[in-house]
């Protein structure tokens, strides 16, 4: 395919790609800014859209900036580094607005401007590196844009500007240590690094194996774990053994150190184990949770249900301002962390239930449970209909929805409408600067 064309970029899609049109067909072009006129080479043509590669910027936007990262042109992690940060924030507000209108039929939903960061760099406390052996040398890196090829990172030649500086430091050492593995030992496919604001860090080595071996057999990485645990700040080294083919599941083994790291968030301490989800941007997490608490509008005597409660961060954050709280989470390991976190903070008015949220919450509501506020913090797929129905059947005055995907947020807001709730306010929060992702907190009030 060797066709070249000139197009005008009129918008940005949810992957951070510029959007233009050629002869009525939508064209997606990475690395462009709305308002620019560009020359592109078409790299893929489908029935309803095409993709193009930027050849020349014929009329650059005033919002265009030089990316600070040497990897930005090729790495798939940052889609918007070429755009001035204030413009990124305006773009994210507009993306949420468009999604509410298109997916939720909510063109007039009350939407605030996106809250950004004062310093939108080195904010990530959790980074996953891919691992490869290139010309006999072990390298860490990230997937290239629209590809499974790997862009080298993790050392002085490719510092990730989104990752915390300490994680970059540890990645460089782990890369060297992996190079010292016996050649008969397969390399892990991924290395995940996590850091708490306490300075404690966790290293997770992920290896694929056949399904029969997932639940038995010694680890292949005990020798390297003994070296990794000696890196200053690292207190946990774990292995994630998962079925080949990158299916979900598998098991985690602690190879060195303890089973968790400790994080501190706005005066609370949280224990985070290897399998548990935890927000990756601590600065913006405080912004997100403070807005969640504000929307709950608590006087101190309320009963709160927190669906998809994870390790209990939102539940325990709210617990200081309410009478009784229940958290619901499908991952038993996360529930164990949540209970430990309640004890760690001396919080006694929060209980946590392990099981499918769409089963446990409706059962308790049917048995007479009546929360004043229901907090929803689902994964990207959004809420199951049973959870939304249970929230409505509970009679809760407010539903506060914490979302990592504007499309499923819009869908679920629309589904809550016929159940008796109307949207009162939506606040986007920029949890992932220089990417196209945006989180939101939405307040739903009973009509």
Cβ contact 161:94 at 8 Å: no
In the set 69, 75, 383, 404, the catalytic residue is: 404
DSSP secondary structure string for all residues of 287-303:
HHHHHHHHHH---S--E
DSSP 186: P
Is 362 strand, coil or helix?
Answer: helix
The burial class, CB within 10 Å (0-12 / 13-18 / 19+), for 232 is exposed
Q: Is 253 helix (H, G, I), strand (E, B) or coil?
A: strand
Beta bridge partners of 441: 402, 427
Task: Give bridge partners of residue 143 from the DSSP assignment.
Answer: 150
Exposure class string for 270-295: b at 16+ Cβ within 10 A, else e: bbbbbbbbbbbbbebbebbbebbbeb
Q: Would you say the C-alpha torsion 326, 362, 358, 14 has a positive or negative sign?
A: negative
Assess whether 296 carries a catalytic annotation: no
Q: Token pair of 58, please? A: 């014929």
Residue found by looking up tokens 């005055």 in the block: 397
97 Cβ contact list (under 8 Å, min separation 6): 109, 111
416/222 Cα distance (integer angstroms): 50
Short-list 114, 69, 62, CA closest to 89: 114
Decide: 187 and 179 in contact? Cβ < 8 Å: no
Pair 112, 105: CB distance under 8 Å = no
Query: Which residues form the catalytic set?
Result: 404
């Amino acid at each position: 395919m060797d066709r070249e064309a000139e197009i005008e970029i009129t918008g940005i899609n949810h992957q951070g790609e510029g959007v233009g049109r050629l002869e009525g067909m939508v064209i997606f072009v990475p690395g462009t800014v709305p308002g620019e006129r560009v020359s592109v080479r078409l790299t893929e043509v489908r029935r309803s859209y095409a993709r193009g590669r930027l050849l020349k910027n014929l009329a650059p936007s005033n919002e265009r900036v030089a990316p600070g990262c040497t990897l930005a042109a090729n790495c798939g992690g940052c889609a918007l580094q070429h755009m001035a940060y204030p413009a990124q924030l305006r773009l994210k507000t507009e993306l949420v607005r468009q999604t509410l209108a298109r997916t939720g039929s909510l063109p007039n939903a009350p939407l605030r401007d996106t809250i950004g960061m004062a310093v939108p760099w080195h904010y990530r406390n959790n980074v996953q590196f891919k691992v490869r052996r290139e010309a006999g040398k072990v390298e860490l890196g990230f997937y290239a844009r629209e590809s499974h090829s790997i862009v080298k990172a993790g050392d002085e030649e490719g510092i990730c500007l989104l990752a915390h500086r300490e994680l970059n430091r540890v990645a460089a050492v782990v890369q060297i240590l992996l190079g010292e593995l016996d050649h008969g030992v397969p390399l892990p496919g991924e290395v995940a690094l996590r850091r708490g604001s306490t300075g404690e860090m966790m290293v997770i080595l992920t290896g694929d194996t056949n399904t029969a071996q997932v639940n038995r057999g010694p680890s292949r990485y005990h020798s390297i774990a003994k070296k990794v645990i000696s890196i200053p700040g690292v207190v946990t080294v774990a292995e994630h053994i998962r079925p080949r083919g990158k299916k979900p599941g598998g098991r985690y083994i602690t190879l060195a150190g303890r089973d968790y790291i400790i994080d501190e968030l706005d005066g609370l301490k949280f224990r985070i184990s290897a399998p548990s989800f935890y927000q990756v941007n601590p600065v913006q997490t405080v912004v997100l949770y403070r807005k969640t608490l504000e929307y709950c509008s608590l006087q101190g005597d309320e009963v709160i249900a927190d669906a998809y409660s994870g390790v209990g961060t939102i539940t325990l954050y709210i617990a200081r301002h309410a009478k009784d709280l229940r958290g619901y989470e499908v991952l038993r390991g996360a529930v164990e962390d949540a209970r430990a976190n309640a004890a760690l903070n001396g919080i006694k008015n929060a209980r946590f239930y392990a099981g499918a949220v769409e089963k446990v919450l409706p059962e308790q509501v049917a048995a007479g449970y009546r929360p004043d506020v229901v907090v929803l913090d689902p994964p990207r797929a959004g809420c199951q209909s049973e959870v939304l129905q249970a929230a409505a059947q509970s009679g809760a005055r407010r539903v506060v929805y914490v979302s990592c995907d504007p499309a499923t947020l819009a869908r679920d807001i629309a589904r809550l409408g016929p159940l008796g709730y109307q949207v009162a306010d939506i606040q986007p929060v920029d949890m992932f600067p220089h990417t196209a992702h945006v989180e939101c907190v939405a307040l739903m009030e009973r009509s």
